[in-house]
Structure 1
């Protein structure tokens, strides 16, 4: 998908970020990263800024980057509506070529994004590059178990219907055609690229994985 295609999906992605299931995952991911107090936080593929808003009262500075100019407009508007404009900065850019200096952020996040990239490992390396030593990397990725049938069964078991079900099934469909992840492979990739203390936390009954890691302190 190119930036223009994402421009047309702002309403869908904003609604998806506010679903019970993805909103709950965002809450869990925020909790797993610990306090953002006085920290500089980056969200790669920030969409409409909903994840960053969770730490707006803590963080020193929140930065979102997205390929879509319309997503960036929506993020800016959401921060304005929540009276948090001074805390947020949003820029148009490529996850595989981040326009930030080395070791610029204390926390780097990415949810529902890396699996869309042609070369996800390049995006991961860029996130690691801009992290300060000792900084935290946090990602949400679909697991190898994710597919439309498993997602449908999850929705059925948990009484998820309507738009919430549609959003999950679309995520499942795209991830099946793009990239899904195994925890052990992610661990090896992150350790090879200078991270440590890698932990994985299954969500959606194992259909997706939250991964947390620390950049090695030299």
Structure 2
């Protein structure tokens, strides 16, 4: 798949304010500062489509971007940024949970993991929660350019081995770099494949 058009549609402070449509949605989520906005800009080849910030936890809304007038790319708030107040953390948690569990248009949730780190409890718990609720998801390991190829592969394997302790079948996973475009075509082709697959009746 090649992205011919990508346009911002709406920012929503509540999941029930999201666009009323029946086109598929592919949402991106991860811990704060995992490189989500940079990844979205890399996938769409629009450097300023999603706002990037050196301040973690900037996205507090659900942002919809219409891609090729066929599907929505959805930028969800990051989870686990401790410097936010307890009330704000609870609001974001409820926002994420409501969207992920109730949004019928959600076709796949991409969970972003920083490839430089060992498996983090907060990510593992979030992935386990997705499994318990039957949410279709895939993992994108970000920032692969920040270390050697061997170190990235080692960290990814450590992560997958950790998941195997709980999962009989591992979710799809991709390795990406917003700096050099690694993983871009694989992620877009994966989305394209789902969009072209026969819909369940």
Higher relative contact order (Cα pairs below 8 Å, separated by 6+ residues)? 2
TM-score range relative to shorter protein: 0.3 to 0.5
TM-score, scaled to structure 1:
0.31
